[in-house]
Amino acid sequence: MANQTTGSKGNEARAAAGQAVDKAREAAGHAGSAAKDIASQAIDKARDAASSVGEMASNAASTVGRKADDYASSAGSGIKSFGDTIREHGPQEGMLGSATKTVADTTKQVGRYLEEEGLSGMMEDMTTLIKRNPIPAILVGLGVGVLLGRLLKATGVHPGAVPLLRSSIHGN
């Protein structure tokens, strides 16, 4: 009888241990599932935040572009007005009158172009021009670089000093 009691208690202990193991597995499964849900939520939040930052940057760039076009349009209006002033106050007859008329017309055309196209239109036109004439564009770029280098050398400003100047101006 003692063996039967010991045997039944052993079976009960094994059954209880089995139930405990099952409960532990179930709890671990729930914990893993909860961790996956939390990780998924964190990833979704990070995606949303990145998307919001991207939209804000895009909106800021768009606003800056519109402002630049507005300023270019204002500058174009001023240049057109300057062309009218040249025409009114310059000589009207002779060779100087002809030169004045040409300068005034060209100035007004530049002003009208800036006013209508803005900076974005100018950039599109420059891109088209460079695509149509790549070799002359490269040569012009090299020429401008050489001229800037000579200018910096003549003024005594070393090209490597430009970042230093920028940081001292901005206090960095």
Q: In the 3-class helix/strand/coil scheme, how is the chain assigned residue by residue?
A: CHHHHHHHHHHHHHHHHHHHHHHHHHHHHHHHHHHHHHHHHHHHHHHHHHHHHHHHHHHHHHHHHHHHHHHHHHHHHHHHHHHHHHHHHCCCCHHHHHHHHHHHHHHHHHHHHHHHHHHHHHHHHHHHHHHHCHHHHHHHHHHHHHHHHHHHHHHCCCHHHHHHHHHHHHCC
Percent of the chain with pLDDT over 90: 17
* Rounded Cα distance, 35 and 48, in Å: 20
Nearest to 83 by CA among 51, 115, 57: 115
Q: What does the pLDDT look like over 146-168, one tens digit per residue? A: 999 898 888 886 656 555 555 55
77 and 64 share one domain: yes
Residue 145 has pLDDT above 90, yes or no: yes
- Based on the domain organization, do 88 and 172 belong to the same domain? no
- The pLDDT of residue 169 is 55
106 & 164 share domain = no
CA distance 95 to 106: 17
**Mean pLDDT, rounded, of the chain:** 79
Q: Tell me: do 141 and 124 sit in the same domain.
A: no
Query: Which tokens in the block code for residue 25?
Result: 């597995």
10 and 81 together in one domain? yes
> Does residue 41 sit in the same domain as residue 86?
yes
Please report which confidence band the pLDDT of residue 134 belongs to, taking 50, 70 and 90 as the band edges: very high
pLDDT at residue number 2 = 47
Number of domains in the chain: 2
Q: Does the pLDDT of residue 17 top 50, yes or no?
A: yes
Distance (Å, whole) CA 83 – CA 151 = 31
Same domain, 101 and 146: no
Start-to-end CA distance of the chain, whole Å, equals: 91
One domain for residues 144 and 115: no
Q: Can you give the residue range of the structural domain that contains 154?
A: 134-172
Q: Say whether both 17 and 84 belong to one domain.
A: yes
Copy the structure tokens of residue 151. 């200018």
With 0.75 as the threshold, say if the pTM is over it: no
